[in-house]
Amino acid sequence: MPSQVIQAVVLAALSLLIAIPFGVFVAAWVGWALVCAGLVLQMIFHFRNFNRLDRWSKHPIVDNSLEGGGEWDGIFGRLYRHERDLRNEIARRSDDFDRAIAAIQALTDGVVILDTHNQIIFCNTTAEQQLGITLRIDQGQAVVNLVRQPEFVGYLMARDFSRPLTLRFDRGEERVLSIFMVPYAKGRTLMQIKDVTQSDRLDQMRRDFVANVSHELRTPLTVLAGFLETLQEIEVTPEEHRHFLALMAEQSQRMQSIVQDLLTLSSIESAPPPVNELVDMVNLLDKLRRDAEALSGGRHTIVVETDGQGDLQGSEQELVSAFGNLVANAVRYTPAGGTVRLAWQATAQGAEFVVQDSGIGIEAQHIPRLTERFYRVDRGRSRDAGGTGLGLAIVKHSLSRHQAQLEISSKPGSGSRFSARFPAARVVVV
């Protein structure tokens, strides 16, 4: 039997014990009055505690507002403990939940949780930026109302999520997103969004590069194959024979130059950081001048301007190749009678190597693209000059391995200026 009932029975028995003698020896009504008074007191006591419980249940705060006497104390104590445990459990879960949300927010991938109707329940800030949505405003919205690309809508409706979907967004700048859908509990779907813009760009560059290389090699190969066929099938005079062989040698030389430049590019791309040799700039400038004179064959004036101060620290081979490419271009793109000026200036703040020519110049719109592989302003002219279209790509790469910046300025018809600026850390000034 519950203890409250026993207590009520004991109290009733007590009031009867007190009331019976009064009823017998004083008067019956006095006995009844005492019984009633006992019951009324009990009712008042229980009613007060019940009232307290009622008030507390509306605002269950764990403090001493809920204190009762007798058996009520035990009930209130149990309620307190239950309430306190419940609060602790809620606090713990809310902590876990906050930590899980913080982890989802920290993800570099976008995450969107969709309900059975593909409405947004939650998304992290990365997804907000990727899809251009705002959780506060768009929560509860069907995702297809916000991401309207037909490929996405079709993908979501087909519900075949065995492969991710690649979506292109163009908001000023093109972004490529790879979307993975993972259905999980209670018809919900987790949408994971990876930004693959960079790898897509690299893939595109690789495809372009392979196409460019094939194209560059196919042209001389086709010419070679044509001459070979002619020589095999048609009787030619010894003079024609010599002429054809000379043209074939030219084409094979062209292929060799392309392959050589490709090998140079790939070797500097995969090479470890350049070694720190001390490159004697006076010697290097002298070598560059001699090479320029040899290439020019006396058709240009070659000028070297330097006070002989300062040397460079880096890979001599790479620097010779980079500077040599700039000098060779200056000679090749400057008509006979022009001037090519080589300058070197070093201070404690850094150094600058400059090649300036009075040649054909470059129109402004081409300048930002000159260091792309196989980019030429005039394909025919570059080919005739023995260019491969890879020279400035090699230059830029070698210079950036030495933390140097390539700056190009030019005026069509007046000439160009290519400058390589090295940071102080690469310069040794005695």
Q: Does 378 bind ligand ADP (CB under 6 A)?
A: yes
Site residues for ligand ADP, 3-32, by CB under 6 A, read: none
Alpha helical stretches, state H, 310-363: 316-332
Q: Which of 118, 126, 296, 382 binds ligand ADP (CB under 6 A)?
A: 382
202: which 2 tokens? 């690299």
What is the C-alpha to C-alpha distance for residues 43 and 349, in angstroms, rounded to an integer?
Answer: 96
329: which 2 tokens? 């271009």
Q: How far is the CB of 415 from ligand ADP (least distance, A)?
A: 7
Number of residues that bind ligand ADP (CB under 6 A): 22
Site residues for ligand ADP, 299-328, by CB under 6 A, read: 325
Residue closer to ligand ADP by CB (options 4, 405) is 405
- 356-388 CB burial, b ≥16 within 10 A, e <16: bbbbbbbeeeeeeebbbbbbbbeeeebbeeebb
Site residues for ligand ADP, 408-427, by CB under 6 A, read: 416
Q: Does 220 bind ligand ADP (CB under 6 A)?
A: no
Residue closer to ligand ADP by CB (options 274, 361) is 361
150: which 2 tokens? 């037909």
Q: How far is the CB of 204 from ligand ADP (least distance, A)?
A: 20
**Phi-psi map region of 279: left, alpha, beta (phi>0 left; psi -120 to 50 alpha):** beta
Dihedrals φ, ψ of 411, to 5°?
Answer: -135, 120
Q: Are 420 and 399 in contact (CB under 8 A)?
A: yes
Candidates 96-104, 106-114, 207-215, 352-360 — which segment interacts with ligand ADP by CB under 6 A?
A: 352-360
Q: How far is the CB of 306 from ligand ADP (least distance, A)?
A: 20
Residue closer to ligand ADP by CB (options 72, 418) is 418
In the shown chain, the binding pattern of residues 175 to 214 toward ligand ADP, with x for contact by CB under 6 A and - for none, equals: ----------------------------------------
Cα dihedral value 397, 317, 258, 272, nearest 10: -50
Q: Does 370 bind ligand ADP (CB under 6 A)?
A: yes
425: which 2 tokens? 């850390």
Q: Does 392 bind ligand ADP (CB under 6 A)?
A: yes
Largest Cα span, the chain:
161
11 Cβ contact list (under 8 Å, min separation 6): 38, 42
Q: Which residues bind ligand ADP (CB under 6 A)?
A: 325, 329-330, 333, 357, 359-360, 362, 370, 375-378, 382, 387-393, 416
